[in-house]
């Protein structure tokens, strides 16, 4: 497919972001941390157990910084040149696009529709694309919305292509008013499109909550008497691209699928849905590449598929070894931006080692790799080696691995050998697709060990490590403007629950077969292993929690926590440098000081709530007391969230967004640690002030606590500021009385314990 002449310009380049200054800063912080540890060791005998506790916590922080420094040492990313694709590649490969959704209430169908429309309209030959929506909610409303969307797509896709529209998710596009133009045809088209989109929204809205249309249409019969955990497989070809003429030929295939669910079967949440998508798409279109996005993550860059293809189709040996191309996850409603900044530095760092970690959305996978191939199984030209041919293509092993469907096995063989599927009408494949959606289809097969990997709710990290362990590399592309944009849950319970799931899933990976801690002869690079280990570092919640309480304990107990005299300079420089460094990281990406502060605060809150409770989840799972579930994150549309027009770019800190960033509380256990930390530190500061008044010796002379510890408490109060505000607010922004009383009780115990010692 790709032209082999080497004189042409490359499709893709690796850009190194190595910076000696940043390396020096990272190393200086590391040296300061180790000096602090050394100081603690030297003065261990003169101090009490608190000194030892502080030493242990700081050892953990230093170890983490060491890992972070290793990961960020040689950052890189790939830069694609999609404009060169046409002269180099005459026949673009097909791409199957997967959109999983699970809950029509938490994931309103109009959001899913927008994501689907943005994918159907990308700049890529329509007959090379197919979009599959998997619905774990088995919702007739979602199916209805997709049917309506496919009709709208027939005018929307040609409109986008004709006027080279940049943002192809209609809700986003129509947030901006029509710009004054001389082109009256465009104005007319624009107005017509907007009218049609409003009509589509109204139809979906009217259908919500009103189910009589369900009975009227035979097409919805399959949805009657179903429940999300008790239903038969449903496969519906919403739109089939048969070539033909006119605008309709521009709309790619659109298929709705919902797998069988029965109460006593494990369904593996999103991971199970992804494997079903993999099988159905294998049967129907069998594209060699697959894009996977979450249902809220619309394509914000029409060239995104072409960008990914630049990596896969470049003519180097390495491109045969690239298993997936990952784009960052960006958000249209993020007011904290902490994930964006984290991704920017850490993802680029990992990208410079063996390749970025798969993050569940915005990723192009290679089908062959998902079917279980290792990088060793390929010859230099990309064909299967003879050993791999024996291992993968024997009839016996095919059925054992991929299940009993003959059609599926045939398609797997085709995919492994890079042969395209014989063209068949999708409608004729519905029965075979239904077969591979049965609850028991995966029974006694390798699904879950191949495809997307089971045994962790963070299926992305789990699947990713499986791929890197088999020797594959991956590629990171981070275009500007962002390739995909989605929704983040509001700060408060929703965000905390989401981080708790991520953390729990990450720890699950630690105990899996693919654990980065075991198997030292596997084909993964050492620093890549560290990168996975860093993902699992949510275990650091315990030292973080302890460290937030230490200054208060020392003030109450009148014991020293920090070094005295000139050596206090180590801590001061360390904190100062770290603050300036992280602030710089935010500002260089265009974010404000306030956004930096909110993020620092949020990370501490997540560490002492989400990550802490994830440890509890894991312990309960190991004891067999409870199972770990997947609570779908709530998705919001800008209109419903703000009722105000906002622009797609990130990093805006307008008043509106910060107002939205207000912390929300509820009576769940998640807010007890934060409230407790806040109360304890306030109590310690109050005690300190009383002490100051009583004695003239304000610096806590001798070996006791003093101003340094008080500053420690003030920093903690600042980091947990939303809780201080929550003490005085009402409604969802106030801390509920039940949480407050539990935290107050714990605070009294803590104070009595500290003072009494």
Q: Active-site positions?
A: 136, 460
Is 136 among the annotated ligand-binding positions? yes
Residue whose entry in the numeric block shows the structure tokens 């101003």 = 707
Chosen from Mn ion, ligand UPG, none, partner binding at 100 (C-beta under 5 to 8 Å by type): ligand UPG
The Cα–Cα gap between 262 and 138 comes to 13
103 binding Mn ion? (CB under 5 A): no
115 binding ligand UPG? (CB under 6 A): no
Tell me the closest approach of the beta carbon of residue 122 to ligand UPG, in angstroms: 19
Beta-strand relationship, 289-292 and 330-331: unpaired
630 binding ligand UPG? (CB under 6 A): yes
332 binding ligand UPG? (CB under 6 A): no
| 11 CB-near residues (< 8 Å, 6+ apart) | 80, 81, 84, 85, 88, 310, 311, 313, 314, 315
The Cα–Cα gap between 519 and 517 comes to 7
Of residues 67 through 86, those in contact with ligand UPG by CB under 6 A are none
Q: Find the part of the chain contacting ligand UPG (CB under 6 A) among 64-72, 214-222, 594-602, 626-634.
A: 626-634
For residue 570, which of 29, 27, 26 has the smallest C-alpha distance? 29
Q: Find the part of the chain contacting ligand UPG (CB under 6 A) among 41-49, 64-72, 99-107, 403-411.
A: 99-107
Q: What are phi and psi of 368, to 5 degrees?
A: -60, -40
Q: Which of 319, 498, 515, 558 binds ligand UPG (CB under 6 A)?
A: 498
Chosen from Mn ion, ligand UPG, none, partner binding at 107 (C-beta under 5 to 8 Å by type): ligand UPG
Q: Find the part of the chain contacting ligand UPG (CB under 6 A) among 24-32, 420-428, 495-503, 647-655.
A: 495-503
The Cα–Cα gap between 627 and 621 comes to 6
| CB 280 within 8 Å of CB 132 | yes
Chosen from ligand UPG, Mn ion, none, partner binding at 632 (C-beta under 5 to 8 Å by type): ligand UPG
Chosen from Mn ion, ligand UPG, none, partner binding at 460 (C-beta under 5 to 8 Å by type): ligand UPG
Query: Cα angle vertex 719, ends 715, 725, to 5°?
Result: 115
Helix (H) or strand (E) holding 402: helix 395-402
The Cα–Cα gap between 425 and 431 comes to 12
Give the ranges where 343-423 is alpha helix by DSSP (H). 348-351, 367-370, 386-393, 395-402, 406-416
* 330 HSE (CA, 13 A, CB side): 22
The SS3 assignment for 665 reads coil
Of residues 275 and 314, the one with the C-beta less far from ligand UPG? 275
Chosen from Mn ion, ligand UPG, none, partner binding at 705 (C-beta under 5 to 8 Å by type): none
| CB 289 within 8 Å of CB 257 | no
Tell me the closest approach of the beta carbon of residue 296 to Mn ion, in angstroms: 6
Of residues 284 and 293, the one with the C-beta less far from Mn ion? 293
The Cα–Cα gap between 131 and 102 comes to 17
Chosen from ligand UPG, Mn ion, none, partner binding at 360 (C-beta under 5 to 8 Å by type): ligand UPG
Residue 292: strand pairing partners: 98, 363
Beta-strand relationship, 363-366 and 322-326: antiparallel
x-marked contacts with Mn ion along 334-373 as a string, rule CB under 5 A: ----------------------------------------
For residue 304, which of 293, 295, 314 has the smallest C-alpha distance? 293
Strand order in the sheet with 129-135: 234-239, 253-258, 129-135, 95-101, 289-292, 363-366, 322-326, 473-476
Q: Which of 103, 250, 294, 407 binds Mn ion (CB under 5 A)?
A: 294
Tell me the closest approach of the beta carbon of residue 255 to Mn ion, in angstroms: 22
x-marked contacts with Mn ion along 618-657 as a string, rule CB under 5 A: ---------------x------------------------
| CB 130 within 8 Å of CB 43 | no
Is 91 among the annotated ligand-binding positions? no
Contacts with Mn ion: how many residues (CB under 5 A)?
A: 2
The Cα–Cα gap between 326 and 347 comes to 10
| CB 61 within 8 Å of CB 539 | no
Q: HEC profile for 193-220? A: HHHHHHHHHHHHHHHCCCCHHHHHCHHH
Of residues 102 and 283, the one with the C-beta less far from ligand UPG? 102
Q: Which of 437, 505, 673, 706 binds ligand UPG (CB under 6 A)?
A: 505
Chosen from ligand UPG, Mn ion, none, partner binding at 158 (C-beta under 5 to 8 Å by type): none
Of residues 133 and 384, the one with the C-beta less far from ligand UPG? 133
Chosen from Mn ion, ligand UPG, none, partner binding at 478 (C-beta under 5 to 8 Å by type): none
Give the CB-nearest residue to ligand UPG: 360
* Distance from chain centroid for Cα 662: 22
DSSP 77-134: EEEE-GGGHHHHBSSPPPEEEEEEE--TTTS-HHHHHHHHHHHHTSSS-GGGEEEEEE
CA distances from 561 to 229, 577, 703 (A): 54, 20, 10
Residue whose entry in the numeric block shows the structure tokens 């409770």 = 613
Tell me the closest approach of the beta carbon of residue 100 to Mn ion, in angstroms: 10
Of residues 269 and 332, the one with the C-beta less far from ligand UPG? 269
Q: Which of 138, 457, 497, 735 binds ligand UPG (CB under 6 A)?
A: 457
Q: Which of 275, 300, 337, 361 binds ligand UPG (CB under 6 A)?
A: 361
Of residues 294 and 435, the one with the C-beta less far from Mn ion? 294
Q: Which of 269, 371, 441, 611 binds ligand UPG (CB under 6 A)?
A: 269
Tell me the closest approach of the beta carbon of residue 209 to ligand UPG, in angstroms: 21
107 binding Mn ion? (CB under 5 A): no
The Cα–Cα gap between 639 and 57 comes to 44
Is 107 among the annotated ligand-binding positions? yes
Tell me the closest approach of the beta carbon of residue 541 to ligand UPG, in angstroms: 18
Tell me the closest approach of the beta carbon of residue 489 to ligand UPG, in angstroms: 8
Q: Dig out the tokens for 665 from the structure.
A: 């509380």
Chosen from Mn ion, ligand UPG, none, partner binding at 136 (C-beta under 5 to 8 Å by type): ligand UPG
* 672 HSE (CA, 13 A, CB side): 14
Q: Which of 369, 458, 496, 685 binds ligand UPG (CB under 6 A)?
A: 458
Is 78 among the annotated ligand-binding positions? no
Q: List residues forming the annotated binding site for UDP-alpha-D-glucose.
A: 107, 136
Q: List residues forming the annotated binding site for Mn(2+).
A: 270, 294
User: Which residues of this chain interact with Mn ion, rule CB under 5 A?
Assistant: 294, 633
User: Which residues of this chain interact with ligand UPG, rule CB under 6 A?
Assistant: 100-102, 107, 134, 136, 269-270, 273, 294-295, 360-361, 457-460, 498, 501-502, 505, 630, 632-633
């Amino acid at each position: 497919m790709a032209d082999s002449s080497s004189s042409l310009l490359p499709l893709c380049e690796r850009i190194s972001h190595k910076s000696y200054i940043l390396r020096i800063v990272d190393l200086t912080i590391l040296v300061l941390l180790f000096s602090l540890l050394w100081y603690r060791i030297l003065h261990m005998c003169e101090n009490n157990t608190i000194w030892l506790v502080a030493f242990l916590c700081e050892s953990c922080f230093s170890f983490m910084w060491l890992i972070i420094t290793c990961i960020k040492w040689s950052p890189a990313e790939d830069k694609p040149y999609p404009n060169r694709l046409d002269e180099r590649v005459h026949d673009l490969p097909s791409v199957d696009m997967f959109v999983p959704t699970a809950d029509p209430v938490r994931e309103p169908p109009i959001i899913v529709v927008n994501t689907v429309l943005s994918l159907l309209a990308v700049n890529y030959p329509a007959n090379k694309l197919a979009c599959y929506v998997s619905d774990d909610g088995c919702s007739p409303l979602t199916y209805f919305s997709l049917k309506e969307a496919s009709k709208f797509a027939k005018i929307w896709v040609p409109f986008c292509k004709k006027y080279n529209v940049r943002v192809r998710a209609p809700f986003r596009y129509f947030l901006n008013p029509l710009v004054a133009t001389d082109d009256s045809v465009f104005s007319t088209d624009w107005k017509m499109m907007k009218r049609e989109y409003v009509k589509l929204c109204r139809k979906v809205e009217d259908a919500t909550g009103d189910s009589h249309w369900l009975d009227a249409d035979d097409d919805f019969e399959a949805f009657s008497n179903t429940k999300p955990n008790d239903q038969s497989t449903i496969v519906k070809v919403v739109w089939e691209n048969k070539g033909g003429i006119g605008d309709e030929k521009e709309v790619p295939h659109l298929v709705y699928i919902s797998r069988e669910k029965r109460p006593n079967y494990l369904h593996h949440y999103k991971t199970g849905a992804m494997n079903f998508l993999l099988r159905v798409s294998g049967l129907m279109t069998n594209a060699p590449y697959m894009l996977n996005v979450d249902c809220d993550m619309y394509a914000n860059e029409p060239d995104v598929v072409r960008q990914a293809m630049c990596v896969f189709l470049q003519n180097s040996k390495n491109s045969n070894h690239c298993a997936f191309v990952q784009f960052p996850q960006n958000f249209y409603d993020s007011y904290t931006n902490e994930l964006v900044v984290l991704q920017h530095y850490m993802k680029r760092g990992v990208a410079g080692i063996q390749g970025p970690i798969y993050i569940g959305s915005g990723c192009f996978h290679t089908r062959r790799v998902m079917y279980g191939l290792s990088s060793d199984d390929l010859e230099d030209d990309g064909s299967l080696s003879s050993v791999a041919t024996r291992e993968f293509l024997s009839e016996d092993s095919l059925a054992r691995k991929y299940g009993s469907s003959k059609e599926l096995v045939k398609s797997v063989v085709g995919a492994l050998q890079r042969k395209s599927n014989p063209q068949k009408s999708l409608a004729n494949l519905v029965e075979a697709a239904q077969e591979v959606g049965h609850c028991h289809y995966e029974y006694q097969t390798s699904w879950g060990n191949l495809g997307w990997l089971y045994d962790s709710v963070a299926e992305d990290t789990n699947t990713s490590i499986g791929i890197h362990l088999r020797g594959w590399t991956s590629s990171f592309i981070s275009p500007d403007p962002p390739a995909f944009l989605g929704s983040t849950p509001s700060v408060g319970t929703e965000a905390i629950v989401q981080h708790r799931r991520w953390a729990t899933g990450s720890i699950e990976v630690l105990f899996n077969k693919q654990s980065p801690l075991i198997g030292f002869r596997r084909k993964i690079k050492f620093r890549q292993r560290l990168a996975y280990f860093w993902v699992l570092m949510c275990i650091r919640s315990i030292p973080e929690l302890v460290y937030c309480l230490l200054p208060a304990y020392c003030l109450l107990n009148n014991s020293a926590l920090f070094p005295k005299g000139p050596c206090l300079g180590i801590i001061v420089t360390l904190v100062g440098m770290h603050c300036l460094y992280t602030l710089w990281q935010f500002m260089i990406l265009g974010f404000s000081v306030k956004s930096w502060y909110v993020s620092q605060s949020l990370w501490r809150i997540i560490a002492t709530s989400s990550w802490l409770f994830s440890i509890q989840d894991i312990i309960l799972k190991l004891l067999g007391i409870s199972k770990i579930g997947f609570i779908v994150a709530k998705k919001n549309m800008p209109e419903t969230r703000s009722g105000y027009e906002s622009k797609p770019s990130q990093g805006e800190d307008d008043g509106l967004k910060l107002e939205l960033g207000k912390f929300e509380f509820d009576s769940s256990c998640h807010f007890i640690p934060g409230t407790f930390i806040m109360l304890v530190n306030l109590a310690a500061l109050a005690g300190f002030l009383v002490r100051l008044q009583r004695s003239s010796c304000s610096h806590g002379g001798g070996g006791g606590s003093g101003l340094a510890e008080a500053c420690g408490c003030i920093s903690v109060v600042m980091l947990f500021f939303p809780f201080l505000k929550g003490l005085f607010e009402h409604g969802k922004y106030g801390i509920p009385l039940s949480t407050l009383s539990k935290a107050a009780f714990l605070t009294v115990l803590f104070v009595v314990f500290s003072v009494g010692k």
